[in-house]
Every structure is written in structure tokens, then in C-alpha cells.
């Protein structure tokens, strides 16, 4: 299996999404409770959903539409977190990069599945 440039970009986007959700949980809620729960729980929930439904070795593989919906929800929640924190430029740049990378990856997955 080859690792391309888009795979690296997608991995960095996933890490940034998890960081964004944790950062949002830390700043958006009073510390220590419920701030700590959201700081740990939001990225943990997103990583669990991603691992179960979206990852290449997902426990519950979905069709292309389902995978796209999971990706939109996780990446969209990270962008929404930046908007809620008052950083619309970060949210916009992240959204554009995630959308372009998602479309490129989705098209390649559909072609790869059709060839199999």
C-alpha cells in the first residue's frame, strides 16, 4: 500500500481535528468540571467514531456516502469549534483544506473499490 501526499495531509487534518476538539473543550467550559470531561471526551468520542466507521480498517465499514457523512461530522465539528472560539480564519482554512482532501480521497476510494 502506497502512502501519498493526500494521505499525509489527511492524517495531519485528523490530528488537528482532535486537537481542536480538545482545545475547544478546555476553553469553552468552566474548569475543572465539565471542562476536563469535554477536553478529554470530545476528541476521544471523535476518534472512536472515526475508528469504528471511517478508518481504512473500520470495524463497521460503510458505503462511500456513510464514510463521507462521518468525515463531514468530525471535520465539521472541529471547524465549528474554532468558530465558537472566535477564530473564523482558522475554521475557514481548515474547512477548505479538509473538504478538498476529502473529495480527493473519496474519489480515489470509489475508483479503488470499483476496480476490486
Report CA Rg, the chain: 15
pTM of the model: 0.93
The answer to whether the beta carbons of residues 82 and 90 sit under 8 Å apart is yes
Query: By the 8 A CB rule, do 38 and 29 touch?
Result: yes
Q: Cα dist. 56→10, 43, 44, 63, 84 in Å? A: 12, 19, 18, 12, 31
Q: Which portions of the chain are predicted below pLDDT 50?
A: none
Q: What is the pLDDT of residue 31?
A: 82
Amino acid at each position: 500500500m502506497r502512502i501519498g501526499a493526500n494521505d499525509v495531509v489527511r492524517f495531519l487534518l485528523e490530528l488537528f481535528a482532535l486537537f481542536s476538539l480538545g482545545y475547544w473543550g478546555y476553553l469553552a467550559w468552566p474548569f475543572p468540571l465539565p471542562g476536563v470531561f469535554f477536553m478529554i471526551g470530545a476528541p476521544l468520542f471523535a476518534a472512536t467514531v472515526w475508528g469504528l466507521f471511517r478508518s481504512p480498517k473500520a470495524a463497521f465499514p460503510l458505503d462511500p456516502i456513510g464514510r463521507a457523512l462521518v468525515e463531514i461530522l468530525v471535520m465539521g465539528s472541529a471547524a465549528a469549534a474554532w468558530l465558537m472560539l472566535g477564530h473564523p480564519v482558522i475554521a475557514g482554512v481548515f474547512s477548505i483544506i479538509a473538504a478538498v482532501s476529502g473529495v480527493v480521497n473519496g474519489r480515489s476510494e470509489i475508483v479503488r473499490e470499483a476496480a476490486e
